[in-house]
Amino acid sequence: MRKFLSQLLYFCLLIFSINFMGNFVFTNELADEDLNRKFGEVANGSYDCIFVGSSRTYRHIDPLLFDSITSTRSYNCGAASTFVPEAYYVLELLLEDLKGRKHGVETIVFEVQNMDLLDPRNAFTAKGNYWLINDYLKLATESIWQTQLPIAIKISGSMTFALGWAINHFGFNYLSIWSGSESITAAHEVRGHLCLNKQVELGIDKEPLLERGELYLDKQSVLEQRRRGWFRADSLRIAERGELSVRHLAKMRALIDQSETQGIRLLFMVPPRLKSYSSIIPLVTQLGEDRCIDLSSPVQYPGFWTTDIGFDIGHLNCRGVQLFSSELARNYLKLTGVQSDDDRTVIVQ
Amino acid sequence: MLFNSIDFAVFLPVVFLLYWFGLAEKRKPQNYLLLIASYVFYGWWDWRFLGLMLFSTVVDYTLGLQIHRTTAVRWRKTLLAVSLSVNLGLLGFFKYYNFFIENFIEAFSLFGTNFSIHTLSIILPVGISFYTFQTLSYTLDVYNRKLIPTNSFIDFAAFVSFFPQLVAGPIERASNLLPQFVNGRKFDADLAVIGLRQILWGLVKKILIADNCAQFSNQIFETYDSQPAHILFFGAFFFTLQIYGDFSGYSDIAIGVSRLFGFRLMQNFAFPYFSRDVAEFWRRWHISLSTWFRDYLYIPLGGSKGGKYMQLRNTLVIFVVSGFWHGANWTFICWGLLNALYFFPLLLSGKNRANLEIIAAGKLFPSIRELWGMVSTFLLTILAWILFRADSMQQATSYIYRMVSGIADFEQIGVTKRFLTEEVGLRLVLVIIGFTAIEWLGREGKFGLDELPDKLPKPLRWTLYVCLVLLIFALGGSQQEFIYFQF
């Protein structure tokens, strides 16, 4: 038995060693093919405003519409299923990438998200762990331990991140050939943005998207629950009892410093219709109004919380995208102190 | 729980370590552990059907003991009938109820009588055909006094639910598997090494061959009415490889996992696509089911006794029942019938046992005659698999008609060439060639990697294993459920 187990162990060690070398040699830092393509575009195009974030950036911000109001030349570098630490990682890589180049980027608008736990299934996918290097494992686990989650969830959540880290280093990621998604290819033509309705029109992953849309219409009460959730989180802010993640705040401040040393202004954007705002609102309060474009408030922007501008529960349809991009542009002008030549202010009600 | 899933990759080492280290080779606790592990394994799919398996286990355990203890012939027959009725009744309800209702209504509507009987939306419990046949073999063997039933309910329940072969076989005979639960097991390193090798080869078959071929066969069968004949041929060809990789891959993993726990299961596949005639194919394909039907249906029906007519009749019955066992659809019945038709000329000419030995044993290449036999049998098999894969008889006949009638249409060769080069690609072609070469070189063993690695020095052997592991991860197709789960 001992001989059998030792042989098995040696074989596993051999495989892990090969994988470690493979991951070290062959894996691109930005293993996400979709983002790779977008980075290439940012590096080669002459853009002055870049959007970084998840699907709520990728799907909601139409750079052409934004530019028509702000007179900027912007590019949407958002990607679907981008996790919070992954977004930090992407932003850091982008800043690193810009460091060595001659570029015109003046502003980066970074989406503020909830820090979700990594699903164990995602820990096994290259997309779910390619960004899990030592620093981000530390950030993720520290963030979990700063929450008010039950101890068992803190342990299992930390273990899942550790598993993702191990797979990123010793797993078979370097063998995966990332082909990139068709939607990003289509988005390439329109400054990296693709509205969900437009994707359905193009027939890309049409069926699952339509199912999502139908499910949303069937369960409209969820949107109302989320709206009430925003008010609850806001009342906690007033009472100064919100769930502020010190770790995230520190990370964001470090990113602000890093970008400013490179002459880039980092702004933060909060989208509407998120699952929870209990950790986001305190974070935004700490970052300050001069850095944040908070479009989440149902009081200020009731129009973003209506059923008819949604594609699914968390994402807007093309009409919603128009309203959102315009409102974002208007707020952007306010923060950057530039007056628009175009007086097309959209009132969202 | 799928063998090729992360869940199983965690489940197996945990059970293995508990089994050999936690319980220190004590038979009873080991059987308890296997029983619990098997119920977890099955319940992972749908826990609601655990009760069904438990019910079937309790019934056969009780009836087995009663049949053995009773001497009155009539009472023994009654008890056997109860066992058959319960097992086949459950199988019939879950698997065939809707089929019979639909056909009943359709048959009477031909005579102008309309019935308003509703079909039910029944979920087919995974593996019901497999464990039902396994428990049936137990009561039949006890009835025939070939087996002494066990007094231990735990041993019997562990035998029925043994997780490696629970949902897709091999369908073990109680006379082979049950004594292994009753007697103790000692860890055998050689057996475990062979087991790991067989698991690796099973994963190669499933992930590299079956899952890759599945994407093309699925795509072609779904759009068959707009595909040219040559592509339809490749659709059937890819399904032929898929079903072999899928089912024999599952069997290899099941046998390999059993070996890790000290159990020896029967061989279920013996390189069937290297067969020189259809009779040889059926001695090499799904051996545990073929021999089950031989022992519990063909022989009781009279077998080869009673002349050619009886032999033909019994063979026909076996093939039709075997087709029906696979599923409640006319396509399976016709698949069985077609195989019977393939079989009859061999039976009538007395050549059904002409090829009993391994093809080209001890040689590197087959003779021209053997090669011809192999290719022609393979082509006949491809044709039969179309019936098996099709959703309906209408689809099957239309598929075959389009494929056969357009086979001489050489204008479509450009389309086929594009399909092979641009869609299928050289990568998959090389994988299939490499796989076939290993299977051919290893055909004198029980599975592709059975004896072949022993001929290599250790560094080369390990290089082969490492390459196979890396190939699985690099070129594996997207995860598909095992085809035979539905049976």
**pLDDT tens, B287-332?**
999 999 999 999 999 888 878 888 899 999 999 999 988 888 899 9
Q: Which residues of A touch B192 (CB under 8 A)?
A: 4
Which stretch of B242-246, B396-400, B410-414 has the lowest confidence by average pLDDT? B410-414
Q: Do B474 and A175 touch (CB under 8 A)?
A: yes
Average pLDDT over residues A54-62: 93
pLDDT for B481 equals: 60
Restricting to A residues 102-131, those with a Cβ less than 8 Å away from any Cβ of B are 120-121, 124
Give the model's pLDDT for residue B121.
Answer: 66
Judged by a CB distance cut-off of 8 A, whether residue A8 touches chain B is: yes
Question: In this complex, do B20 and A1 lie within 8 Å of one another by their Cβ atoms?
Answer: yes
Cα B461 from chain centroid (whole Å): 29
Whether residues B466 and A124 touch (CB distance < 8 A) is answered with no
- Model pLDDT for residues B336-366, shown as the tens digit of each residue: 999 999 999 999 998 888 888 999 888 889 9
In percent, how much of chain B has pLDDT > 90?
Answer: 67
User: Is the pLDDT reported for residue A38 higher than 60?
Assistant: yes
Residue-wise pLDDT for A198-242, tens only, equals 888 888 888 888 888 888 887 778 889 999 999 988 887 766 666
Inter-chain touch A15–B193, beta carbons under 8 Å: no
Residue B344 has, within 13 A of its CA and on its CB side, a CA count of 14
- Do the Cβ atoms of B134 and B172 come closer than 8 Å? yes
Q: How many CB atoms are located within 10 Å of the residue A223 CB?
A: 17
Beta carbons of B187 and A1 less than 8 Å apart: yes
Q: Which residue in A has a C-alpha nearest to residue B20's C-alpha?
A: A1
Smallest Cβ–Cβ distance between A14 and the set B192, B193, B466 belongs to B466
- Tell me whether residue A109 is exposed, middle or buried, using C-beta atoms within 10 angstroms of its C-beta: 0 to 12, 13 to 18, 19 or more: buried
The average pLDDT across B392-403 equals 94
pLDDT of A202: 86
8 Å CB contact of B466 and A15:
yes
In this prediction, residues B393-413 reach a mean pLDDT of: 88
**Interchain contact, B189 vs A1, CB within 8 Å:** yes
Facing B470 at nearest CB: one of A1, A8, A175: A175
Chain B closest-CA separation from residue A206 CA (Å): 17
Q: What pLDDT, on the 0 to 100 scale, is given for residue A348?
A: 45
Select the more confidently predicted residue: B132 or A38.
Answer: B132
Q: What is the mean pLDDT of residues A306-320?
A: 90
* pLDDT tens profile A235-263: 877 666 667 788 889 999 999 999 999 99
Residue among A3, A120, A175 whose CB faces B473 most closely: A175
Give residue B403's pLDDT.
92
A31 to chain B, minimum CA–CA distance in Å?
15
Query: Do the beta carbons of residue B184 and residue B259 sit within 8 Å?
Result: no
The pLDDT of residue B486 is above 60: no
Using a CB-CB cut-off of 8 Å, the residues of chain B touching A124 are: 6
- Binning pLDDT at 50, 70 and 90, where does residue A345 land? very low
Interchain contact, A18 vs B470, CB within 8 Å: yes
Q: Is B465 within 8 Å of A11 when comparing Cβ atoms?
A: yes
* Catalytic machinery residues of B: 326
Chain B residues at the A interface, defined by Cβ less than 8 Å, are 6, 20, 187, 189, 192-193, 196, 462, 465-466, 469-470, 473-474
Q: Is the pLDDT of residue B384 over 50?
A: yes
Question: A349: pLDDT confidence band, cut at 50, 70 and 90?
Answer: very low
Chain B residues touching residue A18 (CB < 8 angstroms): 466, 470
CA of B467 to nearest chain A CA: how many angstroms apart? 10
Distance of alpha carbon B399 from alpha carbon B412, whole angstroms: 17
- Under an 8 A CB cutoff, do A175 and B20 touch? no
CA angle A209–B210–B449, rounded 5-degree value: 145
Selected for mutation to probe chain A from B10, B18, B260, B470 (highest A CB count within 10 Å) is B470
The Cα of A28 is separated from the nearest Cα of chain B by a number of Å equal to 16
Is the Cβ pair B462, A11 closer than 8 Å? yes
Residue A346 predicted with pLDDT over 60: no
Residue B386, pLDDT score: 96
Position B480 confidence tier, pLDDT thresholds 50, 70, 90: low
Residues of chain B contacting A4 with CB distance shorter than 8 Å: 187, 189, 192-193
Please determine, for residue B391, whether its predicted confidence score (pLDDT) is greater than 80.
yes
In this complex, do B473 and A11 lie within 8 Å of one another by their Cβ atoms? no
Q: Residue A347: pLDDT band by 50, 70, 90 thresholds?
A: very low
Residue A230's SS3 state is helix
Does A18 reach chain B within 8 Å, measured CB to CB?
Answer: yes
Contacts with A286 (C-beta within 8 Å, 6 or more apart), sequence order: A244, A249
User: For residues A52 and A93, is the Cβ–Cβ distance under 8 A?
Assistant: no
Question: For residues B24 and B14, what is the distance between their CA atoms, to the nearest angstrom?
Answer: 15
pLDDT band of B76, cuts 50, 70, 90: very high
B262 Cα to chain A: minimum distance (Å): 12
Q: Tokens 């700063």 identify what position?
A: A146
Query: What average pLDDT does range A264-272 have in this prediction?
Result: 94
DSSP single-letter state for residue B486: G
Sequence-separated (6 or more) residues with CB below 8 Å from residue B462:
A11, A14
**More confident: B16 or B4:** B16
| Alpha-helix residue ranges (DSSP H) falling in chain A | 2-26, 33-44, 55-58, 63-70, 84-99, 120-123, 126-129, 134-145, 151-170, 182-188, 196-202, 206-218, 221-238, 246-261, 280-287, 318-336
Q: How far is A24 from chain B (nearest CA, A)?
A: 16
pLDDT tops 90 at residue A276 = no
Q: Residue A116: what pLDDT?
A: 81
Who's near A8: CB < 8 A, 6+ residues apart?
B196
Q: Is A215 on the interface with B (CB under 8 A)?
A: no
Asked if pLDDT for residue A343 goes beyond 50, the answer is no
> Smallest Cβ distance to A15: which of B187, B193, B469?
B469
Q: What are the pLDDT digits (tens) for A173-197?
A: 888 755 556 666 677 677 889 899 9
Q: Which of A19-28, A307-316, B241-250 has the lowest mean pLDDT?
A: A19-28
Given B189, B470, B474, which is nearest A4 (Cβ)?
B189
Closest Cα in chain B, distance from residue A175 (Å): 5
Considering only CA atoms, give the Rg of chain B: 23
pLDDT at res. B122: 66
pLDDT at residue A84, rounded to an integer: 87
Segment (H or E) for B32: helix B27-46
| pLDDT value, residue A65 | 94
| Contact: A124, B469; criterion CB under 8 Å | no
Averaged confidence pLDDT in chain B:
90
pTM of the model as a whole: 0.82
**What pLDDT does residue B168 have?**
84
Compare all CA atoms of chain B with the CA of A5 and give the residue at the minimum distance: B189
pLDDT at site A328:
95
Contact between residue A92 and residue A255 where contact means Cβ atoms under 8 Å apart: yes
Residue A184: the pLDDT is 67
Is B470 within 8 Å of A8 when comparing Cβ atoms? Answer: no
Q: What pLDDT shows up at residue B482? A: 61
The predicted pLDDT at position B361 comes to 87
A19 vs chain B: nearest CA distance in angstroms?
9
**Better pLDDT: B72 or A146:** B72
Highest mean pLDDT among A43-57, B335-349, B418-432: B335-349
Residues of chain A contacting residue B470, judged by C-beta atoms under 8 Å apart: 18, 172, 175
DSSP-assigned beta bridge partners for residue A269? A111, A293
